[in-house]
Structures are given as structure tokens and as C-alpha cells.
Amino acid sequence: MIRKLLFILLVVTIHSCSVFKPIPQPEREFRGFWVATVVNIDWPKNGNDAIEKQKLDYLKILDFYDDLNFNAAIVQIRTAGDAFYDSDYAPWSRFLTGKEGQSPNSDESILKWMIDEAHVRGMEFHAWLNPYRATFDLKTEILSPIHDYNLHPEWMLKYGKKYYYNPGIPEVRDRMASVIDEIVTNFDIDAIHFDDYFYPYTIKDEVFNDSLTYNFHKLPNQSIDDWRRSNMDSLIKTSYTTIKNRKPWVQFGVSPFGVWKNKATDPNGSDTKAGQTTYENLYADPLLWMKEGWLDYLIPQVYWSMDLSVASHRKIVDWWSLNSQNTNLYIGNGPYKIRNNSDKAWDDPKELPKQLNLARNTENVKGNVFFSAKSLMKNNDDIVTNLQKKYYKRKALTPVVINSGTNSLKNIELKGIEENNVFTDLIFKNLEGYRYALVYPSGKKKRTEYSIKKLLTKVIVNENSSISIPSEISHHKKYVALTFIDYFGRKSEPVIVHLKHK
């Protein structure tokens, strides 16, 4: 009997340990989360909150995902013709300040602070814009006098219970280019990001009344559907060009609706039965955008469960894997559905882990992004623990920016070392063009590669070409190896530093 009990105990112990046994983790993997600000979905919790509370709430989100070893925050800074920063082209968002057009009660740039806080944690900051949604509802009386609805009513079309910018008007596309250029010029962002709202999702018995614009701007024999798609193509191409002309290392990414076309309407489509598609309803053609090289990354929103009959996560991920080119492909996951959806597959705590396993084992897929930030932060502790111990046990570098070329930054030289009780500052001759430093334990002799498994810390490169290593690391190591990551995500040759202790 005792032997039998011991055997059972051994089996249970082995099984319980295997549940959280880490699986092989790539050195580079995009691990992102969307921070939705429209109607205060994720942050701020209320536009009327004091700026100090808003900051604390934002840091809670960053720290939560930092603990999970995520490396990219995709933060919505334009929700509906508004802005989360001081702009020449849009009023302050009411979702940030409580009243549209009212500036925050602070002399500090809230967006710069948000970007800096992401960077100091080793995270990329992707500025998420909704390009063509002009209002979130029909309460136009609450809009600022400088909102485009009031300044340019000729740009607006009512559809359903919102107003939209008319994508067929060239001046509207020019305005978006100006919005993008302003952000890229004034802020140290890592990417501009569009979500899935191009032309609006189709509403039964509603008409998107752009016929006059179509008749004026169409090419000979061009259908309205093809004309609308050409407008989206122009937006994407112009956005990409605007970004790269200003700062070549800033990425441009799009997160389209997960189904391009159903196979029933196009043999090249996915084996799905989606009620709407990104090509036919939203007039967006990400396959063309990838082919033309207008994107740095693509994140199709595959928010369905693994084997849902009408839109299988498994089948859609496989389809995007086979149809992606010239871009980094990440998968958008929907943890907001966990234990909160009519599809009962989401009641299974293994659903999200299955999707992560699929992504890691599918060719061309280089990471995942979760919608939305708050989804894992409440009532899902068991799933978070599983992710933390099994899937995201270690840090990972983000993928290198597509078409970034070779790394021409060389000759990194140490100028000096300054120590205090908190940090050891390493001052270098020139670190311009580098974003982060990776710190590894080392001997006197340099190796060609250092495993991410041995990473001691990832620190930001300061403006004065220095880095600050926490004293609990530097005071216990005689030598460290440093690898620097540039703005494109490329790694430098390792540098060995002999730490001088008092």
C-alpha cells in the first residue's frame, strides 16, 4: 500500500512539474500587447482621473507585461480624429483629459513620458493610430472646434452611428501623412501602427455614400470596389514613405482583420466562412502591401479559437504563413475572450497556450500580440502563471526590422567607468544609433555569441552614450560582455568590459 501511494505521489509530482516545464524559446520573438484608449478600454481608466493616477495605472500595465518578458507596447494615441499629444492637426483626446481639446494638467509631455517608460523597461513603443474613424458616436456637440469634423465637414461621411473621414479624398490622405510625420518627427517611437479599421465594417441596409467622390476621382472603367482599394493602397504607400523619409528605422505595421478572403469567393482565400473579409468589406489588401514592400510587419487579428468551424485559428495562421512575404509576420491573439465568450473553447485554460505553440511551430510566424492589455490582468492568474513559467520564462529580442541592411556601426570604445551604490555607469566613445545594451556574464576572453539564456539585464543607451548597470550585477562581476542593439534591432559585435571595483 505504501509503495502504491509513493508511486502515485511520484506520478503526480512529475505531472505537476511538466505542466510548467519551459518549452524551447527563441532568442528573437515579438511579444506585444495592445493598449486600447478609445472609450478607456485599457487606459486611462477615466479621462477625468488625475494625471498622477493615470501614470500609475499605465505603469501597472507596463510592469505586468515586463514581468511576463514582453517586449513591445502598442499604444493607441489617435482614436477618432483626436490626439494623446500636443498636435497641430487634432485636439487633445477626451479619453485622456475628460474633455476634448482640453490639455492635460501637466507641463510634461505625457506621450514622451509613456515612450520613455516603455524604453527603460526594454520595450518598443508602437504608436497606434486609427486613420479614418472621425467620431466614436453621433454626439458631435462634444467635439472640439478644431476637430476636423468642424474644420472640414466636406471630409466627413456618416455611416451607422459614427462619422468617418472619406478615404477617397486626396486631402484626407495628405492629412494622415501630416499626422504621421508630426509624430515620427517629434517623438522617439519605434513604429507607427494601424489597426483593422480602413473602410468601415459593412452595416446591413446602410450606404457608405462616397459615390460623388468616386465619380470625380475614379479611373476609366474602374469599379467602386477597386477604387476604394486603391485609396487604401495609396494611404499605406504614402504612410510608409512618409515614415522612412523621416526616420528609416521607424517601422510601419498594420493589423488587418484576420480573414483576407474566404475560399468560397476566391480559391486563394482561406478555408473559412467569415461574415466579412478585409478585402471585400474593408477594401484593404495586405497581400499587395506586402508584395510591394510597404510594410515592416503584419499582425492579422486571428481572435478565434483553434478549431472554430467557421474561422479556425489553426487554418488562418497556416494561411497567413503561406501567404506572407517581405515582412515580419506576427499573430494577433484574443485573450479578451478567455472565460468570456459564447465559444466555449475559450473556457479551456489551454486554448491560448495552444495558439502560442502553433505560432512557434509555424514557419514565417515571428511572434504574437495580445488584445487587449487588461485581458490577462484580472481573473486569469492560472493562465498568466502558465505563460510566465512555460512560454515567457526568459526575455527575447524583437525581430530585426525588414530591409534594414547590414550593420555599419563599429568601433565601440569604452571611455570610462563611474560607480556609485546604485549603478555602475559605463561611458563609451560613441553609441549613437544604438537603443539598448545586453549585459552577459563573461571571462576575460571574448566569445562570438552569448546566449539569451545567460542575459543578466537589458538596459537603455543614455543620450550621453553611456549605459547604467545595476550595482547588484556590476559589484559581483569582474567582467561582463556587452552586445548593443541598434534602432533596427541589429546586434553589434560583443565588447568585453573589465569592471573596476573600489
Q: Are strands 495-498 and 479-486 parallel, antiparallel or unpaired?
A: antiparallel
| Residues 317, 359 contacting (CB under 8 angstroms) | yes
Cell of 459: 538596459
Each of the 502 residues of the chain gets a pLDDT tens digit; together they read 555 555 555 544 445 444 556 778 899 999 999 999 999 999 999 999 999 999 999 999 999 999 999 999 999 999 999 999 999 999 999 999 999 999 999 999 999 999 999 999 999 999 999 999 999 999 999 999 999 999 999 999 999 999 999 999 999 999 999 999 999 999 999 999 999 999 999 999 999 999 999 999 999 999 999 999 999 999 999 999 999 999 999 999 999 999 999 999 999 999 999 999 999 999 999 999 999 999 999 999 999 999 999 999 999 999 999 999 999 999 999 999 999 999 999 999 999 999 999 999 999 999 999 999 999 998 899 999 999 999 999 999 999 999 887 766 667 889 999 988 899 999 998 898 999 999 999 998 989 899 999 999 999 999 999 999 999 998 889 999 999 999 999 999 999 999 876 4
**Among the listed residues 106, 107, 85, 108, the one whose alpha carbon sits nearest the alpha carbon of residue 95:** 85
**CA quadruple 223, 225, 228, 233: dihedral sign:** negative
Q: Is the pTM of this model over 0.85?
A: yes
What's the pLDDT at 17? 47
Report angle CA 83, 87, 90 to the nearest 5 degrees.
55
Pairwise CA distance, residues 289 & 114, whole Å: 30
Q: Tell me where in the chain the CATH 2.60.40 domain(s) lie.
A: 414-498
How many other C-beta atoms are found inside a 10 Å radius of the C-beta of residue 423?
A: 17
Pairwise CA distance, residues 372 & 375, whole Å: 6
**Among the listed residues 2, 206, 37, 189, the one whose alpha carbon sits nearest the alpha carbon of residue 109:** 189
| Residues 88, 144 contacting (CB under 8 angstroms) | no
What's the pLDDT at 2? 56
Report angle CA 239, 401, 69 to the nearest 5 degrees.
110
What's the pLDDT at 23? 75
| Residues 336, 375 contacting (CB under 8 angstroms) | yes
Quick one: DSSP state of residue 391?
A: I
Fold of 414-498: Immunoglobulin-like (2.60.40)
What's the pLDDT at 78? 98
Which superfamily, per CATH, for 21-391?
Glycosidases (3.20.20.80)
Q: Tell me where in the chain the CATH 3.20.20.80 domain(s) lie.
A: 21-391
70-108: string of b/e by CB count within 10 Å (b at 16+)?
Answer: bbbbbbbbbbbbbbbbebebbbbbbbbbbebbeebeeee
How many other C-beta atoms are found inside a 10 Å radius of the C-beta of residue 258?
A: 26
Cβ neighbours of residue 184 closer than 8 Å, sequence gap 6 or more? 192, 242, 243, 246, 247, 250
How many other C-beta atoms are found inside a 10 Å radius of the C-beta of residue 294?
A: 22
What's the pLDDT at 301? 98
| Residues 279, 268 contacting (CB under 8 angstroms) | no
Pairwise CA distance, residues 436 & 222, whole Å: 49
What's the pLDDT at 179? 98
